[in-house]
Structure 1
């Protein structure tokens, strides 16, 4: 029995070709020759001389006409890459093509902002400490910002303590009030109109809404009174100053008393002991409605900024007469005739003098006749005041007194005001809410408001 030689032995070996690859799955680079099929070689071979001859298969590989080996795929189980490596590239666990940095701690950012602005330094210091603890626990970024915020806040806190101890906070408060925007009662200035929160004035007013004076509003500022001193003088003394000066300063802002109707009253915003420690040294005098639930409409301002020359001349002359009339003695003529006679003499002098001022001025054509009639009445009133000064008893005094007062705010005054474009409704001097002549309000309510 003879053993046939393997099929490869019938083909000549090319000396210039590399030896055929070894292994059950190796592919020959030679363009001719059979290719092993399956996981084991078929047909006799030196390793297996008793194998049956290989039978041709219709699926055998054919040589490529282009000199390249045809595509072939190993049969059977999938091959293993050398050294146990996977035959295909494998991504790592999860999808993370880029590295993600840790987040910045938000509390550290807040601490840095407060430290830079030097605003609420105590809060900035606490936030810096909290941020450092959170960063260490969570592994977040921002340690430098937290440290910087804590340091800056500590410096700011030390400066605040120094300012309060040396009085430097007062100067800062003045600058703060000048730069304060709308919405703060400390930003109010002469001529401002505003609304207060709620339906009425409260005992404490901090926040206000500035509104145009042409529309409805709760109050209108007519004066501010600066206060001096390092220590808070006390509520009683502050209210006393406000009572004394606010009711006097109202006439410089509203020179036409007839424009202040019985619905208008005087209020004031005063500093408290707390606001005083921050440098608040100002009383704010305001006009408000007698009914605290009511409102005002239109500005009450009547001074050099809103009046013409003729209106100013008339109001100044009448104000001089009114000032003397308001000094009427509290005691009646039958109680103190001498004091009343002296006052009547002063009233006669000022009335005659102001009649001469008005009579000597050149008025517009539409004002000349009404003003001439008023001057004539004022001259007659001056004579009656002079007669009252010489009265021998109270009865004689009252006769001249009533004639002289009949001219004050009479028909000729209304006509002259109408020609000048001023208010024509006489005020009610007996109104308890008005000025009683001693510089205080006759209203029983407290018109002082804390700020």
Structure 2
């Protein structure tokens, strides 16, 4: 019975030979070649990997600053930083023996070129030119001019980023009739910008389409207003435009413009006079006479002033022969209308106001206006809002687009 070996790593027995265990033969003479400690028996058995021993050599690490310098050099976003990092990386690589020298050099060179480019741009005011171009591009959607027609990719409601100019002769979403420039300073807020747009656009529409009878009933007033974002890029314009009352439908049939660029002198004279009365009619108070008699009386006083101005304009113009008689009939009606409106302005109670107002309505003869318009070559079909007595204007409630 043999005694088992003690626990622990296996220790192989050395082969038995002519020499005692643990001893080796003496080295051979120099003439026989280099000394080989393992000859003639070969190397001893090798051991397994021990702790702390790696079977392969670890690669030399790449310098992190060299990588960062190369990235910044390629992007050219921070050229000065990229150049500094590249120079620092070269110093660290020399001291630590790290890899990445090529990347550090490439990053330094690219960053140097980028830095030189930035200096050139600053010296030639290129940054200012770039920013101006950016602002122009950002606000180009609202830079259409008076008389131009456009299509909007989002229709005439909501926000948009671009408008495409198209010929007015074909189908189009809108036609610009006025552009209002807002003052600088802080953004006044969406509500205030919209209030200004509504006030200005409804007032300016008759300076573009002076013959309101020529504007179809399906046409409405829209306005394009700056947003808080576009305001920061320099957008200060409110663009007033005609569009279809159905925001999803388009306009067609040519431009709606009728002003001094398309009308003759007689047409202009007649429309300027008629629009004075229409402008006064548009100032009718929201509250009824029962709720605010004073406001209704003030409106009647404005009507008296407008009728006086209209009569003077009709009287002073030299009308062509075929229009003299029809225009004279309209002038007579205008002069007759002043009396009931004066009574309404001086009424002492609600009943007195409505009695005078009723007299004014009875004196109106639409046929006289139609005859005069026909003689002057103007539109002869009254808008629906005038036929039902709802006042002047175009279309419905309007709407707005936001840049």
Which SS does the other structure have where 1:217 is aligned?
coil
Give 3-state SS (helix, strand or coil) of 2:159's partner: coil
Match of 1:287 among 242, 264, 282: 242
* 3-state secondary structure, aligned to 2:340: helix
Report the Cα distance in structure 1 between the residues aligned to 2:266 and 2:309, rounded to whole angstroms: 18
Q: How does 1:395-434 map to 2 (within 5 A)?
A: 395-408=351-364, 410-429=366-385
Match of 1:119 in 2: none
* 1:336-359 per-position Cα deviation (integer Å, ceiling 9, x unaligned): 445434432442343144223213
Choose the corresponding residue for 1:253, options 198, 208, 219. 208
Distance 1:348 1:436, change over 3 A: closer
Alpha-carbon distance change, 162 to 127 in structure 1, aligned in 2, over 3 angstroms? closer
* Corresponding residue number in structure 2 for 1:325: 281
Residue in structure 2 matched with residue 125 of structure 1 by the alignment: 76
After superposition, give the CA deviation of every residue in 1:376-427 in whole Å (9 maximum; x if it has no partner): 2112212222333454543443233123234557111122112222222223
Shift of 1:317: 0.9
Name the residue aligned to 2:174.
219
Question: Would the aligned equivalents of 1:170 and 1:280 in 2 still touch at CA under 8 Å?
Answer: no
Contact 2:76-2:110 within 8 A present in 1 as well: no
Once residues 354 and 157 of structure 2 are traced to their aligned partners in structure 1, the CA distance between those partners, rounded to angstroms, is 46
In structure 2, stretches of 5+ residues that fail to align are 1-72, 83-101
Q: Distance in 2 between matches of 1:449 and 1:400?
A: 42
Among candidates 397, 400, 403, match of residue 448 of structure 1:
400
Given that 2:142 and 2:224 are in contact with CA atoms closer than 8 Å, whether structure 1 keeps it comes out as no
Q: Does 1:313 align with 2:269?
A: yes
CA distance in 1, matches of 2:366, 2:109: 77
2:132 is aligned, of 168, 172, 175, to 172
- 1:274-308 deviation digits (Å, cap 9, x = unpaired): 22222222221211111112111221222222221
Q: TM-score, normalised by structure 1?
A: 0.57
Q: TM-score, normalised by structure 2?
A: 0.63
| Aligned length in residues | 307
Point out which structure has higher relative CO (alpha carbons under 8 A, 6+ apart). 2
* CA RMSD in angstroms, aligned pairs only: 4.3
Q: Distance in 2 between matches of 1:376 and 1:266?
A: 33
Q: Does structure 1 conserve the Cα–Cα contact (< 8 Å) formed by 2:177 and 2:241?
A: yes
Aligned to 2:153: 197
Shift of 1:126: 6.0
